[in-house]
Every structure is written in structure tokens, then in C-alpha cells.
A and B are shown apart, each in its own frame.
Chain A
Amino acid sequence: MLGADAMARCLVKEGVRVVFGYPGVAICPFFNSMLSVDIDRVLVRTEQNAAHMASGYARISGEVGVCVATSGPGATNLITGIATAYADSIPLVCITGQVDSGQLGSDVFQEADITGAVESFVKYSYLVKDVEDIPRIFKEAFHIASTGRRGPVLIDVPIDIQNASISRFVYPDEVNLRTYKPTVKGHTVQMKKVIKAISRSERPIICVGGGVLLSNAASEVSDFAHKYGIPVVSTLMGISVMPTDDPLYFGMVGNNGKSYANRAMNESDLIIMIGARVADRAISQPDLIMDNTVLVHIDVDPAEIGKNVGPHIPLVGDIKAIFEEITKYEAQCDCSEWVKTLSDYKAAEKSRKKPREGFVDPAVFIAMLSDRLKDDAIYVADVGQNQMWSCGYHKVKKGRFLTSGGMGTMGYSIPAAIGARAAAKDRQIVAVCGDGSFQMSMMELATMQQHKLPVKIIIFHNGYLGLVREYQYNVYKGHYSVVDLSGSPDFGKIAGAYGIPFYRMDDMKDAGKILDEFLASDDPALMEIMIDPLDVVK
């Protein structure tokens, strides 16, 4: 058995169902060995999207996403995808081919020091130097990626190691890492403190982040909120922990969030942050809210506690494990008055300024789209105005909302939606992007067609890099620089070239009918909606 065969066997042992990748000479032994195992291989059109597809796959399946690239440019092209996954704590195992180990360091053809290059974007990385280490390294990599705070792990395998014979293949049952033992169970004393703080509080608020979804704890956290009637707000990454129409849910916080969500945070006397890292876009001035509130911070990563804000009650552990436990304690809490106040704030929220006639109103459009989506639909937003409108107006029922939150990587939506489709072939999936972000990954339409992973794609066409244009409007008095997207192709012809049905919506007339047709089948479809070029998020 060769090292490459061992690599493929390791993936089988880990229950991997699909890998997203792009071959090159340095990873050819591995792809050859993949012919003899029952794992789907998806050929992407550029490596960055292999990582995004693995990310979409991981977020929907709850498994580790796997992407593969060759040495040199293949590996370096993965980096943005790896960094995107790292910023949102998505579990990936990224496998790269490497030049012959005897030639490492001599700058031969397609050599890149990928383990060095990704050091600050991975949870861990390996350069395999001995073929006998392959089973242990793969076991460790999957374990590290999928436990504690999730994240990407990279395995770099020189071609001679892939071609070397392995004496005996034994896949380890257990991982033995003396340096890596993430905390799972919450500390009892701290949990009791949380319960006590809730009993003392009159205006508590729960703020959920992406960590709740990563820990698969949405229902536990939601049940806890309902048990005491505590209102909930979310960060961008925490959208879809609660259904949008839940009476206890008060939207997304932050500078692009709902004003009533931010008011709820500012006026509360107890903030319970769960799986959120108190980043600048959610809470721009953490010191201010700390003045007259008690802060509880629950996270699996002890380094997040006190990084951006020093909490009064830190609680480290896996969120699911903590909420399964904490629900056994009883708090005295009646915040019905407080919820009523927040509901009044919500009802008084002014609706967005109507855009000019003759265009599609993105807010109204997204609301209409949400109404028509299946309950468990997966909505993938790209980055930019389309993303901000999506988090403002998409109504989550029982489905998921995916986007690149931490890194804000344009072009994420199409590959992530395709990856999500590979994980959930029976679910409805919609990718929403701008005309800028669409052109960053439109090459993946071929991947979608080739591998029969159909998704619905909606392009918000405004002819600009809209969010940057909006920023230049506000900060540079409308002096636009390098944001005009003139020269974009005819998206209908692009769809036609790939054999994908195309729909176009110029204004709100017939919007319902066009949407119904667009969503009618399970086939892929592309829709272009015409947005006022000068429309703004707020």
C-alpha cells in the first residue's frame, strides 16, 4: 500500500463523503488512489472555491469539510478560503500536494511553503515527512478540526511520501495529544453564577453568535431563552439560531443591525454572550455597554474571554454541553415587562426609505423570496449590500443562513451554496450575491452543472460595488473611485452559455410571478434583479 492509498483510506475511515479539489502533478498519486474508494470528487474551477465549498458542506452537514489542491499555486490559491473558514471557525481538513521532500527548500517548480504561509489562518498544520505517520496525522487533523473551537487544519504531503510504501495501515481509534484537551463541560460554580445573575436581573438579554450553530446547540439555547422568557439578539453569524418571527427574537445587533436590537443591548442590565467574540462590527465600543451591565461570556475558546471585553462571569465550555447542564438549575426571572418594551421598540421601527420607482426594492424582494422558500431552506448571502439587506429582511423559519462573517470574503455564496447542496441534496438552496461578488466566482457555474449540485442564484445588479460605493458616498462625498462595474457581461447570456434557465426582474411588477417560476423546480436557475444603482443599505 502506498502513502496515497493510506490517505484515501483515512478519509474513508473518517466517513468523508465528498472532497472538493483541483489536481496537479504533486497531488496526482492521491487522486489516483481516490479512484478505488467510494468518495465523491468534485472538480472546482479555482482552488479558493474548493475551500468555500468544503465550508458550505461542513456548516450544513456538521461534518468536517475536505478540500484538496496541488503544490505551489494550487496551495496558495486555497489560502483565502482557509482564512475565511478560520475567521468563522469552520472545521476543514485541507490537503495539499508538495514537491519531493528531498527537494524542499530549493525553490523547485511549484514549490511553496504552504504550512508557513497559512500559519496564522489554521488551527494546526502538518508537513508529512514519514509515510508511516499518515494514519496518525489524519486522525489528529480531523480531531483537531472538529473539536474545541472548530477550524481548518492543513496537511501538506510531499509527492515522494504519497508514492512511498507504508508497511502497515492501522487507523488509530483514539487521538493522543498531550497538548490539546479542549474544555467541554462548563464549570459548575460559573453556571450557578449565571443562574444567580439571571435571578437578579430585570432586563436580561441573550446575544447569540456563530458558536451556537457550530456547537449544534440552537435548540438548547432557544429552549433556555423560552424557559425564562429572555429576549434574544444575534450577531451576523448567529442568524438562524432563532426563527425570525419568534416573539423573543429581536434581530441582529451591530452597525448594520436593527436599531431595536442595539437598544436592547444598551438598555439591558445583563448581557449573556454565547459563542460570539464581541468583534467590532457587532459591538463597536464594548467598554460603553460594560458601564451599567453585568456581562456573561460563554465560549469554548478561553482566549476569547477577555480578548475584546472583560466579562464579569466567564464560562468556558462547549455550548451544547453547557446548556444541557445549566437548564437543570432554576432561576427566578420575569422579564415580560422588558420584552414588552422591546416589542414596542420593534413595532416603532421606521421602515426603510422606499427606493426610486422602476427598480426592484431589495427589502421587499427579500421578504417575498423568504415567504416563498421552504421552511428548511438554506439561504447563502454573499458580501456587500446584498448581505446587509439579506440579514435585515430575510425571514428564517427552520432553515439556515450562511455567509462569510468574520472575513467578509466576496464570492463566498456560490461555492458555499454548492457545498451545502452536496451535504443536503433534498433541501432548497438559494445563493444571493451582487454583480460584483457573482463575477468573483461565476466560474463555479460549471462545477454546479458538471456535478449536478443545483442551486438557485440571484444577482442583485446595481452596476456598482454597492457597499463600497455607499461608503464612498458617505465618507468621500460621492467621489466614486474604482467601484463602477461597467463591462459586466450579459448575465442572461452567461446563464445560457452554461445551460442554466435565466430570469430577470426589472421592477416590482410581476415580482411574485417571476419568483414563483424561478423557485418552481429543483433545477438550477439564475435570476438577475435590477436594483437602483444609488440605493443604500440604511
Chain B
Amino acid sequence: MKRLYSVLVENRSGVLSKVAGLFSRRMFNIDSLAVGETDDPNVSCITIVSSGEKNTLEQIEKQLNKKIDVIKIKTFNEEESISRELILVKVKYNKSTRREIMEICEILNASIVDMSKGLLTIQLCDTPERTKLLIQMLASISIVEVARTGVLALQKCSLSD
């Protein structure tokens, strides 16, 4: 089971390491982790995607809540969230593969943001499934390097909001 945790924390030094340390000490999984300041410079948001049994996923929330630097935790399933990930993929190309790479980019709405004689850098900001798909499609062509932000997520707006 996957679960997303949007953890608002005090923007102080050492807080990320405390949160990450909690996961390693208690054997909780981190599938992805992303950190950034919120609109309030005193508050950071750590977005964590984790997976495990129901009981473990509950413990993650409770243990996070015990951390004194944690202000608030919002937790939701994938389907209740809008989640996005930004990835950059550097691929090797030649005459025979260039066309195919461009077609993949076109189909997946990815853009080519840098190139040289033998290398292309592709950017995609999309759902985790689509970013994964891009990597899968390019894997057979020769990926040189991949950088990704990790998943960012917010709860879906409901009609009553």
C-alpha cells in the first residue's frame, strides 16, 4: 500500500535529518522525499511517499506527530491527491535514434531542453506514472543520467471547498 505524507515542519536546521532519521530507525520505507519552503518562510513542507502495511503507515503518522518540529501532517492515498514529479533525463542519440526520441517526447508531452552533438536532455513534469513511463521508453535507447525531484503532492480540491 502506498501513502503520501505532506509534513509541515519548522524551518530549522537539522529538521530534515530528524524526519529522515525516524524513517531509517524504525524501518519505514521512503519511496520518495521532497523538501521546500512554503509560503511562510518559517515553515517547510516535506512530501514523503511511503509504502507498507496499514499498521506501519499509521505508525509513520503517529511517530511523525511525536517529533516536536513537526507542525502538521496531512496524509492521503494516491487517488486523493494531485501529485507531480519533475524529471530530467540525459540520453545519447545518433541519426537513427533521434527521430524515435523526439516521437516519445511528443507523445508524452516532454520537452527537449538541452542538446549537443551526441546528447539530449529531456524534461518532463507529470504524474509519477508518466515520469516512470518516460524512463521506461527511453531505457532501451540509452539513458546517460536521470535526475528527479521526488513526488510533490497536494490533496485534491473537493467540490465543497
A residues at B contact (CB < 8 Å): 115-116, 119-120, 123-124, 127, 144, 177-180, 301-303, 305-307, 310
Contact B58 A301 (CB under 8 A): no
Which single member of B14, B66, B69 contacts A301 (CB below 8 Å)? B66
Tell me the bound Cα distance from A123 to B17 in angstroms. 15
B68 touches A306 (CB 8 A): no
Chain B residues within 8 Å of chain A by Cβ, number: 17
On whether the beta carbons of A119 and B21 are closer than 8 Å, the reply is yes
CB pair A177–B68 under 8 Å, yes or no, is yes
Interface residues of B in 14-28 (CB under 8 A from A): 14, 17-18, 21, 25
Once the chains are docked, how many angstroms separate the CA of A70 from the CA of B74? 40
Chain A hits for B69, CB < 8 A = 179
User: Given A119-B21, A120-B21, A307-B59, is A302 in contact with B65 using a C-beta cutoff of 8 Å?
Assistant: yes
Q: Are A178 and B59 in contact (CB under 8 A)?
A: no
Shortest CB-to-CB span from B118 to chain A, Å, is: 41
Number of A-B contacts (CB under 8 A): 36
A442 → chain B closest CB, angstroms: 33
Q: How far is the CA of A306 from the CA of B21 in the complex (A)?
A: 21
Specify which of A123, A302, A303, A306 is in contact with B55 (CB 8 Å cutoff): A306
A303 x B63 contact (CB < 8 A): yes
At the interface, yes or no: B156 with Cβ under 8 Å from chain A? no
Q: B63: which A residues are within 8 A, CB to CB?
A: 303
Q: Chain A nearest CB: distance from B20 CB in Å?
A: 10
Q: For the complex of A and B, list the 5 residue pairs with the smallest distance between their C-beta atoms, beginning with the closest.
A: A303-B62, A124-B68, A120-B25, A180-B68, A179-B71
Cβ-based interface call for B126 (8 A): no
Binding site for A on B (CB under 8 A): 10, 14, 17-18, 21, 25, 55, 58-59, 62-63, 65-66, 68-71
Give the distance in Å from the alpha carbon of A315 to the alpha carbon of B92 in the complex: 60
* A to B CB contacts below 8 Å, 20 in the list: A116-B14, A116-B17, A119-B18, A120-B25, A123-B68, A124-B68, A144-B68, A178-B71, A179-B71, A302-B62, A302-B65, A303-B62, A303-B63, A303-B66, A305-B62, A306-B55, A306-B59, A306-B62, A307-B59, A310-B55
Residues from chain B with Cβ under 8 Å of A310 in the complex: 55
- Chain B, Cβ-Cβ closest to A304: B62
Docked complex Cα distance between A124 and B18 (Å)? 10
A127 and B15 CA atoms in complex are apart in Å by 12
**Which residues in B have their C-beta under 8 angstroms from that of A144?**
68
> Taking CB as reference atom, which chain B residue is nearest A140?
B68
Residues of A within 8 A of B10 (CB): 179
Q: A119-B17, A310-B55 are in contact. Are A303 and B65 (CB under 8 A)?
A: yes
How far does the Cβ of A180 sit from chain B's closest Cβ, in whole Å? 5
The listed residue with most B CB atoms (<10 A of its CB), out of A119, A123, A305, is A119
Bound Cα distance A307, B71 (Å): 22
Q: Which residues of chain B have C-beta atoms less than 8 A from A306's C-beta?
A: 55, 58-59, 62
Cα of A148 to Cα of B25 in the assembled complex, Å: 22
Q: How far is the CA of A179 from the CA of B12 in the complex (A)?
A: 13
* C-alpha spacing A123/B22, complex, angstroms: 12
CA of A301 to CA of B59 in the docked complex: distance in angstroms?
12
Residues of B within 8 A of A307 (CB): 59, 62
User: What are the residues of chain A within 8 A of B68 when measuring CB–CB?
Assistant: 123-124, 144, 177, 179-180
